Amino acid sequence: MLEKKNIFIGFVIMCLIASPFSIAPVMAGDWNMFHKDLDRTGYLNESSDFTPESWLFKAQKAIKSTPAISDKILYFGSSDGTLYALNLEDGTKVWEYTTEGDIFSSPIINGDNVYFGSKDGYLYALNKKNGDSIWKYKTGNAIESSPTIENRTIYIGANDNRLYAIYTDNGTMKWEFGAKNAIKSSPAVYNGSIYFGSNDGKIYALDTENGTKLWEFDTGNAVISSPAIRDNVLYEGTNNGMFYALNIKDGSIKWTYDFGDPVKSTALLDSNDNSLFIGADNGNITCLDMRDGKLKWSANVGNVQSSPAIMGDYIVVSSESGTVYVLNKYSGKEEWSYSPGYYLFNVPFTSSPVIYGSDIYVGGEDGYMYALNNEKKTGPTSPFLYYIIGIIAAIIIALIVVRTISIRRKRE
C-alpha cells in the first residue's frame, strides 16, 4: 500500500514539474497577434528594471500602426514606410527598416523575429534585435491587415482579396483562401480554426491546416475590425453599425447590438466582470455585457477607430478627437486624459494604445509616438505647446502694436 502511495506521489510531482512546459509553449516575450491576445487586451505586465518616463519620438509621417512590445523594445510602423524599434525606457531608436509602402499593419513578435505587412504588398520577417531581413513574401496587393502566428505559420490578409498562410521557417506559402473583396481585418486563431472579416461583408471561419472553409456569416457590409474570441464566442463589429456575438462552431448569432454608425474598432474583452469595450463612429466608447450584449455604460470621447487597452481597473482609449483617455472600466468615468495638440492642433489617433505595466504607448497621425505615465498622469511636453506659445505671443504683440498706434492717433 505504501509503495503504491509513493508511486502516486512521484507521478504527481512529475506532472507538476512537467506542467510549465506543457501548458506554456509561448515565449514570454511573444506578441503573436494584433493587440497581444484573443481578448485584444493590448497589455503586457512585466516588471521593469527602469524608472518609466514620458517621452515622444518623431517619425516622418502619420502613425496608424499599433505597436507591439517585446524585451523592452517597442515596434511599430509609419506611413513613411518604415518599421521602427525603440527603447521602451527613453524612446531612443534601436533600429529602423524601410519598405516601399506605407505601413498600416501592426507588427507581431515571435521568438527572435518580428513580422509585419506593408502597402508595397510584402509580408516581412526581420530579426527583432537588429532589423536584418530574414525573408519577405510578395502578395498580390497592399497589406493593411496585421498578421497572426500559430504553430510556425503566419496568417495575414491582403487587399488582393486573399488570406495567406505562410511558413515562418522559410516564407513559403502553405495555402491561400480567396474572399470576394479586400481583407483588412486581422485574423485570430482559436482551437485549430482561423477567423477574420472581409470587405465583402462576411466573417469567415477556415481550417488552419488547409484553408478549407468551415462557415461564413454575411453581415451585409464591410468588416474591417478584427475578431476577439473567448469561451467559444466570436465578437466583431461591422461598417453598418451592427456588432455581433457569434457561436464559434457554426457562426450562428448569440446576440447583436446596433451602434447606428460604423464599428471599425476591435473589441476588448474583460472576463473578470464579463465586460466588452468597443468604440464606434457614433462618438462613444461603449461597455456591453459579454453574455447578452446589454449596455453597461457609454462615454463620449469622439469617434473611435482604434481598439481600447486594459490597465487594471481602467481602460485606455485613443480617439479621433486627438485625445487619449484613461477611463474607469466599471463606470466610464474619466480618470485623466492627454491631448498633445492642446485642442487647437489636435490630430486623430487611429493607432491603438498598448500598455506596459503602468505606461501607455500610442502613435498619432501627427507622426509622433507618445509614452505616457499613468502613475503620474502625465505625458511628454508636445512641440505643439511651443506653437501655441508663439501664437499667443504674436497676438499679444499685435495687440500692443494696435494699442500703441491707437494712442498715437489720439494724441495727434
Which pLDDT value is given to residue 1?
A: 43
Q: Please, what is the end-to-end C-alpha distance for the chain in angstroms? A: 118
The predicted model scores a pTM of 0.89
Name the residue with cell 500602426: 65
Q: Give domain status of residue 411, yes or no.
A: no
Distances (CA, A) of 237 to 28, 117, 207, 291: 30, 23, 22, 16
Supply the CATH number for residue 17's domain. 2.130.10.10
> Which whole number is the average pLDDT over 33-62?
89
Q: Give domain status of residue 397, yes or no.
A: no
Which of the residue ranges 22-26, 204-208, 284-288 would you say has the lowest mean pLDDT? 22-26
> Which whole number is the average pLDDT over 164-176?
98
Q: Give domain status of residue 149, yes or no.
A: yes
Task: Detail the DSSP E strand segments found in 179-274.
Answer: 188-190, 193-197, 202-207, 213-218, 228-230, 233-237, 242-247, 253-258, 268-270
Q: Give domain status of residue 94, yes or no.
A: yes
Range of the domain at 83: 2-381
Which pLDDT value is given to residue 11?
A: 42
Q: Give domain status of residue 317, yes or no.
A: yes
Name the residue with cell 524585451: 71
pLDDT at 20 over 60: no
Which pLDDT value is given to residue 86?
A: 98
> Which whole number is the average pLDDT over 269-280?
97
Class of residue 167 by CB neighbours under 10 A (exposed 0-12, middle 13-18, buried 19+)? middle
- What is the domain count for the chain? 1
Q: Give domain status of residue 395, yes or no.
A: no
Q: Give domain status of residue 399, yes or no.
A: no
pLDDT at 261 over 90: yes
pLDDT digits (tens, 9 = 90+) for 130-162: 999 999 999 999 999 999 999 999 999 999 999
Q: Give domain status of residue 402, yes or no.
A: no
